[in-house]
Chains A and B, each alone.
Chain A
């Protein structure tokens, strides 16, 4: 089948990528760009390991055909840190032990970051709801939820300091 060129912005950089229509956005990220932080779990949109942001909204990259990403803005786990400094959600996951094997972690981080952008003070229930599309088979979720709570408090405190 004919190859095609896809123009897409990934983690702030414009990319021109050669692919085929039956490849997915997940394939583009992992195979064309070697951004292997994003994982393939089930490949059918159930587990959330492949979660990335498209134009700021979390989606399953395994269910997006590569050409559907044309002209969109994609953020992967590799794009969360700024100036070599981890995102507060990443730091909180490390400190609170919000991971074990790590396969679900990139998708979990992306969903957590998306939640905290729209809700700076999420309740435990809204955190659990926000990550309901991200399956974790190791942690039992409690430490992940705690890490997101810690991150939200710290981000709010930082924002308060910054505004003074």
Chain B
């Protein structure tokens, strides 16, 4: 690795002041599992690094009814996976965070970093978009909130502005009669990157019809994608095998996959059909309770 200046501020205010003062060419360090690989192998040469390790109150995972789940950007994947409230109320987040890397990576890496790295195949992104999570971003100008769906701009590119960092991920309270599921396809069971993935989240009305549906596709576009035509097919209908088949087929046309070493375009389209159907089935089943 090339040399850089290292800062470990003790507060968020100090962290954003450093970003403001030092200007372009800096990187914010949370767990480091992506950043260090980029610095060692991919030619990323930051002029300075701002570590979040000493910033108080960024490692929390807390839940409060009415305020939802708050995940600090320095909380490790393991902190999230092992949190009792997340396991009980947001199983889809546990499912996806548990798929990122090895235990060693999960103990270092963060959900915040997985989001800010903005890989199209990031496992925690589709579930958090499906759950309508909000990102709390901080800069010298103060905090602002952004729906996570608006955060991803392209591979490795986000809506973070110069001098801005991610402080917290906020996931709204769990809704009654809701259910979510995430699944990815990888040739190996562990330690692999998704060829394609899907997250489905539904809320059912008292009459059993679908009142809210989010289907988010991973690794089949430059960012995680909203399968809007698939969602529209479900709204106001009673879920049935045929309806789910129709939504899964629509999701295939919502996807914009490329061919690369992990899979061809047509293979990815096939996977999206299967993964959308499976995750919708499980989401609906858990919403029916």
A residues neighboring B (CB under 8 Å): 1-2, 4, 20-22, 24, 43-46, 48, 51, 54, 57-60, 62-65, 67-68, 70, 111, 114, 129-130, 132-134
| Chain B hits for A46, CB < 8 A | 191
- CB closest residue in chain A, given B189: A132
Bound CA span A93–B32, Å:
32
How far in angstroms is the closest Cβ of chain A from B192? 10
| Chain B hits for A21, CB < 8 A | 3-6, 49
Of A4, A44, A63, the residue contacting B6 (CB under 8 A) is A4
Bound CA span A21–B189, Å:
36
B residues neighboring A (CB under 8 Å): 1-6, 8, 29, 32-33, 36-37, 40-41, 49, 51, 53, 78, 101-105, 107-108, 189-191
Of B3, B5, B37, B53, the residue contacting A63 (CB under 8 A) is B37
Q: Is the CB of A45 within 8 A of B4?
A: no
How far in angstroms is the closest Cβ of chain B from A7? 13
Q: Is the CB of B103 within 8 A of A45?
A: no
* Residue of A1, A44, A68, A114 with most partner-chain B CB within 10 A: A68
Q: Given the known inter-chain contacts A21-B49, A48-B102, A132-B102, please indicate yes or no for A63 contacting B191, CB distance below 8 A.
A: no
| Chain A hits for B4, CB < 8 A | 1, 21-22
Q: Is the CB of A44 within 8 A of B41?
A: yes
A-B residue pairs in contact (CB < 8 Å), sample of 17: A1-B5, A2-B5, A21-B3, A22-B1, A22-B2, A43-B40, A45-B33, A45-B101, A57-B107, A59-B108, A63-B108, A65-B6, A65-B51, A68-B51, A70-B8, A132-B103, A134-B102
